[in-house]
Chain A
């Protein structure tokens, strides 16, 4: 159940990340064309950067599901099958610790309880906590940055889901994938 949810979510993440990759390409091309016509659109660069960051966090979470992130496998390759399984589980636990840590940091950063206490009144929340996370604007897009940052929420959710699912499902034969 959890494993299939994790698999489906990873598929959604990759689909969204691929869309972001398309968006990056289209936006930068748009920039080239509009600049050549002397009609640059000022928000395109920022939008492209955020599309890339979204792509990065979405696909990075999916990579945890696929266990395909770059790692140093030197020692693991020397171990026997039993040792490799032990190490595989230890890595899964590290990924879970990572996911829980992220959840904790997101909690500290977004202070949801204080926001609730302030009745979702951002100004009252800021007066109480001096935390301006909900009010920070983007430079050129005209929206609040919290919308852009919200990918971190998806990232925390994804890593937690994949970490727990990986820990509960049998270990596959791990493979290394790199780009240099």
Chain B
């Protein structure tokens, strides 16, 4: 009965956190283990009493401050210096700017929203097809959850009980691979259809653009540098980054009004709590998973099919692609990690960092695929291109990400080399 209740609530549009809690309540009542109700509230609370989770509101705040502080346009201008003169220059600029942004923002949905607003009109004005412009931007958004900092990695790190800083490091090489592959996709598309020619900046313009971007570049440097050199925990890096973002936006770019801070903090509290409360709910749902021995049962089933870690990862990838199409990435990660990670580690000896990178990239792909592709709809709403129009231009990118996903599944070293 419990799985039925779970499915009915989940697809009945009940908030996901409540689905998890109500399913757990039902399961406990059904199994007669009602003594668990005595500590239910405590369990709900202790699920989020976790230092690592502090990084979530702080990274969200950094993103908010950065949007408000006018850093996006400066990052785009700086990207123009490096790739602006190539044929299809703006498409490459879009990608490079997305890479910079990904090193500041940890959420694909918000990155797609910001970048679509900034890049699509500019690309359209230079003669690019609107669908292609929106598709390039949406694909660039996929870099956000892979290049550190990443919200998905923070949550995965907490669920898997592994250091979040190391998890961030695991994403760096896969992030660069994605950038290179996306560049190749744009180049390939350029062979089939004419792209507008870009112009190189003059030396003076380039210097001015780089100089203007320099303060903003401090943010990713402080985040990644702090973690890479072990100076600060990811949580502390996030706090420092938010302070830098505020000071730059306020004192240097003069675009943040301190009076707006209240709104920014309120939005941060709302968005962060949505995620953190789901984790609290997942903690009580953990009872169902543990008492039902779900991982063990699933492991028994899967190990009869294959003993090879790569095949296992391929099966997981196919399953998660379907899950990611139906459920929001963060919610899906919270749901499946406690079930799949024990199998991956115990039965297939897969490194938890490697597994985290593969799972996160996979689930985030669902952001751009119908029927629930939230990222697709955001890009559509922000750019004015229809979802179908974007999807028609997006498929080469989706195919490329699938290829990268298979590569990352096959070569664990790509995720674990920097740790």
Q: Is the CB of A72 within 8 A of B372?
A: yes
Q: Is the CB of B330 within 8 A of A179?
A: yes
Decide if B54 is an interface residue (CB 8 Å cutoff).
Answer: yes
> A28-B236, A74-B11, A74-B326 in contact; A109/B22 too (CB < 8 A)?
no
Q: Is the CB of A32 within 8 A of B270?
A: no
| Residues of chain B contacted by A180 (CB below 8 angstroms) | 107-109, 145, 151-152, 328-330, 363-364, 367, 374-375
* Chain A minimum-CB-distance residue to B11: A75
Decide if B348 is an interface residue (CB 8 Å cutoff).
Answer: no
Question: Which listed segment binds B: A1-9, A86-94, A119-127?
Answer: A86-94
Which of A58, A70, A74, A91 lies in contact with B331, CB distance below 8 A?
A70
> A55-B269, A72-B13, A180-B364 in contact; A60/B54 too (CB < 8 A)?
no
> A29-B240, A91-B13, A91-B14 in contact; A74/B372 too (CB < 8 A)?
yes
Interface size on B, residues (CB 8 A): 75
| Residues of chain B contacted by A24 (CB below 8 angstroms) | 54, 57-58
Decide if A160 is an interface residue (CB 8 Å cutoff).
Answer: no
Interface size on A, residues (CB 8 A): 61
| Residues of chain A contacted by B232 (CB below 8 angstroms) | 32
- A107 vs B274: C-alpha distance when bound (angstroms): 26
* B33-59, CB < 8 A from A: 37-42, 44-45, 48-51, 53-54, 57-58
Decide if B86 is an interface residue (CB 8 Å cutoff).
Answer: no
Q: Least Cβ distance of A77 to chain B in Å?
A: 8
Decide if A106 is an interface residue (CB 8 Å cutoff).
Answer: yes
- A91 vs B57: C-alpha distance when bound (angstroms): 28
Decide if B16 is an interface residue (CB 8 Å cutoff).
Answer: yes
- A24 vs B240: C-alpha distance when bound (angstroms): 12
Q: Is the CB of A108 within 8 A of B38?
A: yes
Q: Least Cβ distance of A10 to chain B in Å?
A: 11
The 7 closest A-B pairs by CB, nearest first: A69-B15, A59-B273, A28-B239, A60-B277, A180-B329, A17-B269, A105-B40
Which residues of chain B have a CB within 8 Å of any CB of chain A?
Answer: 9-19, 21-22, 25, 37-42, 44-45, 48-51, 53-54, 57-58, 60-61, 107-110, 145, 151-152, 232, 235-236, 238-240, 242-243, 262, 265-266, 268-278, 280, 326-331, 363-364, 367, 371-372, 374-375
Q: A28-B54, A59-B277, A91-B15 are in contact. List 19 more A-B contacts (CB 8 A).
A: A21-B57, A25-B239, A32-B236, A52-B57, A53-B48, A55-B269, A56-B280, A57-B277, A63-B274, A68-B274, A69-B16, A69-B277, A70-B15, A72-B11, A91-B12, A98-B22, A149-B45, A178-B328, A180-B375
